[in-house]
Amino acid sequence: MFRTLACAAALLGLFFAAPAAEAADDYLTPFPAHHVIANIYYVGSKGQANYLITTPQGNILINSGVEKSPAMIKRSIEKLGFKYGDTKILLISHAHFDHDAGSAKIIKDTGAKYEVMDADVPVVESGGKLDFNYGDKGGKNLYPPTKVDRVLHDGDTVSLGGTVLTAHKTPGHTKGCTTWTMQVRDGGKTLNVVFVGSPNVNPGYILVGNKKYPNIAQDYEKTFEILKSLPADVFLGAHGDYYGMDAKYAELTPGGPNPFIDADGYKAYIANREAAFRKKLAEQEAGGKL
Ligand SMILES: [Zn+2]
């Protein structure tokens, strides 16, 4: 029931239409910490996603949330029985305040190493000031500048305790937007997990004649090619609404099928987002309103 609704809503674009600004109220709304699959756990809020990947040599955290998120992330990690202080590596989906503003605090608290895609590094280290779209807009878009310990490039891997994550540069939404992939074993099978960085064209994004990001449209094109080429069994992303998290969480039953395994949902989402990008691009090329 939930799944059917989720899929129907996905196809209609209902889940994906909400821009980040409208979803901001949900960023600090708690959501139950839960097991996703294998060594992957959800420790985010209702509106923005954080993932803990546990290993025998410490843990990897994807996304640090907004500036006030770290306390909530810590509580979620502890509720699941893990130690916040065991966070060894911090990664992000992309350099926007809802995924990286909590990084300075988490690094201070845990000593985690911060590993960020090359083109997002200046944004992270300037506290958002060098973002092509939001850097001059101030307010919540700016956050404590945070030093990066390792600069990643497309295809680089991050390894810890037997877990290997691959960083796919999927630019457009930010210049260094990163889609993370890894493989897990579940039910005797090897499954491909994809954490989508963001394929979304935010309100106000200039796709044609963007002086601060001249090749933005080509970058989105490249990103959709990459996203369509990735093998995806387990569909996750930088926000829960990418993959219908609420509905899938409600479907979780002990011993039941894992709702996060959703290859069709992944394909439908990427197709939906590509169509949305092409519509906006066509509108802007025709000189329409943003
Ligand atoms: Zn974003």
pLDDT score, position 24: 58
> pTM (2 decimals)?
0.92
Separation of CA 118 and ligand 1 centre (Å): 17
User: How many residues belong to the chain?
Assistant: 290
Separation of CA 285 and ligand 1 centre (Å): 23
Separation of CA 188 and ligand 1 centre (Å): 35
Separation of CA 234 and ligand 1 centre (Å): 21
pLDDT score, position 7: 44
The half-sphere exposure of 223 on its side-chain side, counting CA atoms within 13 A, is 31
Q: Tell me the percentage of the chain whose pLDDT exceeds 90.
A: 89
Stated as kind and residue range, the H or E segment containing 87 is: strand 87-91
CA 170 – CA 150 distance, rounded (Å): 18
Ramachandran sector of residue 279 (left: φ over 0; alpha: ψ -120 to 50; beta: rest): alpha
pLDDT score, position 287: 85
pLDDT score, position 16: 45
pLDDT score, position 223: 98
Separation of CA 97 and ligand 1 centre (Å): 8
Q: Which residues of the chain have pLDDT under 50?
A: 1-22, 290
Separation of CA 14 and ligand 1 centre (Å): 18
Neighbouring CB atoms inside 10 A of 47's CB total: 22
Structure tokens at 28: 């600090």
- The answer to whether 114 touches 123, Cβ cutoff 8 Å, is no
Separation of CA 267 and ligand 1 centre (Å): 20
Separation of CA 177 and ligand 1 centre (Å): 8
pLDDT score, position 18: 42
pLDDT score, position 178: 99
Separation of CA 116 and ligand 1 centre (Å): 15
Separation of CA 263 and ligand 1 centre (Å): 23
CA angle 243–70–127, rounded 5-degree value: 90
Separation of CA 86 and ligand 1 centre (Å): 27
> What is the side-by-side order of every strand in the sheet holding 163-169?
157-160, 163-169, 178-186, 189-196, 234-237
Separation of CA 132 and ligand 1 centre (Å): 12
